[in-house]
A and B are shown apart, each in its own frame.
Chain A
């Protein structure tokens, strides 16, 4: 039987928001790790030597080829077997971050490749070093061009934080569970409320980043990003 006791829902909100807070932190931290690693990996694969390039390629293949859940289990349970213990929260950030790096590397690399080679040549002819040309000419453009792909990744990571549920992290899903375990007849409304919260977040992020993209769009230069 479903019942819609609004006071239960209202009282649940603070608890859900606490879970949401963790969801935010997980998302932000993982994205940050993913971005930093991703940029280095993109540059490494485009400009690095064969060994570096292949290593990065393998890394990408591996982290894009296995389920997030398996990554979590390996980091949280598997590593503790050999003495490396992580808190569930940290394990999730590491897992999501490492995986996100593999995807973000591809996003940045596609953006990098779309910049005509002529610009690098022009930069080098002016006397810039390789590093300088990357820093001053390529990266500013790469960041702008990556916005659509990155916004896609943002919402994916946000939604995938729900999987942290499975190793006991107290994010939005798990807080929700605490509530409906106490009020089983409210399980459907609570799940729908949680769905609504995610939905609002995803829409806001997409809208927000699309405004950003329009603001920084370089006229005449459009990228169709492949993931």
Chain B
């Protein structure tokens, strides 16, 4: 047991290095994905046919192909057309582009769950479409998207581990390196599993509390879009 503890203590610094990369990838991709997601969701619902179709096309393609393939295309495929990305850059771009498509769908679900009468009421007050979206639709749909958003956060936290395969030295990669040296796969990856699990529980708890704080009576959270993680 004391051997386990000293092993743990020895490995910790490297694991924390990896963890910082993991968290960096997670949060940056979540935020960029969010910006992309809003644009796609609004683009899909409120713009004329051509732009709307492009948004739908993008979303379907991203959701229909594995994240790993997307990362490979960015990291291994692009150099052949002259674009060379560092592993981390490719990972951030890939994760953001991927997350954006999913977040767009969650937001779309939230937007469509708002009764159409509210849009009509906003227009009868004289609001333009843009004003109605900004002051009536978005404030509500962003709130009702929070559960989906928290799921996306957890998803990204876990799937940043795939960046290991395109040579990003995040938490799982650090673990693999230590294990390759020491052959102590079981201990190291159990530690890593515990780290991921703790973060998952922590993040879920934090977001639950935030959601509770900004809750508005009557603003439902009936989810109609299937999430990719729970």
Contacts and interface: CB of A to CB of B under 8 A. Distances in A.
Given A70-B193, A191-B77, A82 B226 contact: no
A6 to B, nearest CB: 17
A73 interface: yes
Contact of A62 (B63, B185, B192, B197): B197
B69 A78 contact: no
Interface in A181-198: 184-185, 187-188, 191-192, 194-195, 198
Interface stretch (A86-94, A113-121, A131-139, A155-163): A155-163
Contacts of B85: none
Contacts of B151: 227
A70 B67 CA distance: 16
Contacts, number: 142
B230 A191 contact: no
Q: For this complex, into which size category does the number of interface residues on chain A fall?
A: 35 or more
B66 A198 contact: yes
B67 A2 contact: no
A166 B68 CA distance: 10
A108 interface: no
Given A70-B196, A73-B189, A82-B186, A163 B68 contact: yes
Contacts of A163: 66, 68, 162, 165
B96 interface: no
B143 interface: no
A67 B172 contact: yes
Interface string A65-85: 111111001100111111000
A188 B83 CA distance: 12
Q: For this complex, into which size category does the number of interface residues on chain B fall?
A: 35 or more
A15 B39 CA distance: 40
A203 B184 contact: no
B230 A81 contact: no
A106 B161 contact: no
A74 B72 CA distance: 24
Interface in A23-52: none
A173 B69 contact: yes
B192 A70 contact: yes
B68 to A, nearest CB: 4
A69 B162 contact: yes
B61 interface: yes
B197 A65 contact: yes
A66 B197 contact: yes
A106 B151 CA distance: 14
Nearest to B157: A67
A227 B227 contact: yes
11 contacts: A65-B154, A66-B196, A70-B189, A70-B196, A77-B185, A81-B186, A173-B72, A185-B80, A199-B64, A203-B64, A227-B227
Q: Lowest 7 CB-CB distances: which A-B pairs, in order?
A: A77-B185, A78-B186, A159-B66, A65-B200, A67-B161, A188-B77, A67-B158
